[in-house]
A = this chain, B = another copy of it.
Amino acid sequence: MWSLPPSDSVLHLLSLVALAAQAMTAALAAGRRSMDWMGVCFLGCITALGGGTLRDLMLGHYPLAWVQNPSYLALTGGAAFMTILIARLVHRLNVAFLVLDAIGLVVFTMAGCDVAWQMNQSLPIVIISGMVTGCAGGVLRDILCNDVPLLFRSELYASVSVVTGLFYATAFALQLNDQVWTALTFVLGFSFRLLAIRYKWEMPKFVFSGEDR
């Protein structure tokens, strides 16, 4: 996805699949709010590409990935549109899409770390950059659907991104072998997310009921 070196062809392929998958689940969310076809495509693009866009705005990293390479818009918008035709199928393949989404979470996080790293940012910013890339698209989707962002309330998601980023960036800093470490990080993050879904691991919630002011 974003600015991965072209050599990482496996990661690149995975990220394209994950982009499409995120756009498709966003399309279902659009359908739950009876958006029109154009709205469905927008929401797909914004959800799949929004995380990387926010990261680039924060870092002043121009041009944005999809501005430089508009085929990302075609991919995500097209995937969202296709979902209109096969909504039942996508819904039934729920589990497959959770897996694809988990791949996206990990791959986008690593790509976000890469971008910040190449800009010589400090370690905390590298990790934040990965997390924003991996997670912020879903927050934008929830805002546009008029929900309290799921990210802040549901199973481990941002936490997976942070752990992945920490692991990945540490290896960078120690200059460990690139390819091996990339593969290891991917496996770690991916398994962590799948386990979190399977066993419904959640962060403790902070429930506070004092009335406002």
Docked CA distance A23–B202 (Å): 23
**Could you tell me the distance in whole angstroms from the C-beta of A187 to the nearest C-beta in chain B?**
23
| Residue of A74, A158, A162 most packed against chain B (CB within 10 A) | A158
Kindly state whether residue A63 has any CB partner on chain B within 8 Å: yes
Chain B binder among A10-18, A141-149, A168-176, A177-185: A141-149
Q: Digit string of A73-92 for contact with B (CB within 8 Å is 1, else 0)? A: 11000000000100110010
A125 engages B158 (CB within 8 Å):
no
Chain B residues lying within 8 Å of A198, measured Cβ to Cβ, are none
**Cross-interface CB contact of A205 among B36, B151, B159, B207, cutoff 8 Å:** B36
A206 engages B35 (CB within 8 Å):
yes
Docked CA distance A143–B142 (Å): 11
Docked CA distance A13–B18 (Å): 45
12 pairs of residues in contact across A and B, judged by CB atoms under 8 Å: A30-B206, A33-B148, A33-B153, A36-B152, A36-B153, A37-B205, A38-B159, A39-B203, A58-B64, A59-B62, A70-B122, A70-B124
Given contacts A36-B153, A58-B67, A146-B146, 15 further A-B contacts (CB under 8 A): A33-B152, A35-B152, A36-B205, A37-B206, A40-B206, A43-B152, A53-B58, A57-B57, A60-B63, A67-B121, A70-B122, A70-B124, A73-B124, A87-B206, A144-B148
Interfacial residues, chain A to chain B (CB-CB below 8 A): 27-40, 42-43, 53, 57-60, 62-64, 67, 70, 73-74, 84, 87-88, 91, 94, 121-122, 124-125, 128, 139, 143-149, 151-154, 158-159, 162, 202-210, 212-213
A-B CB proximity, top 3 nearest: A31-B208, A39-B152, A36-B203
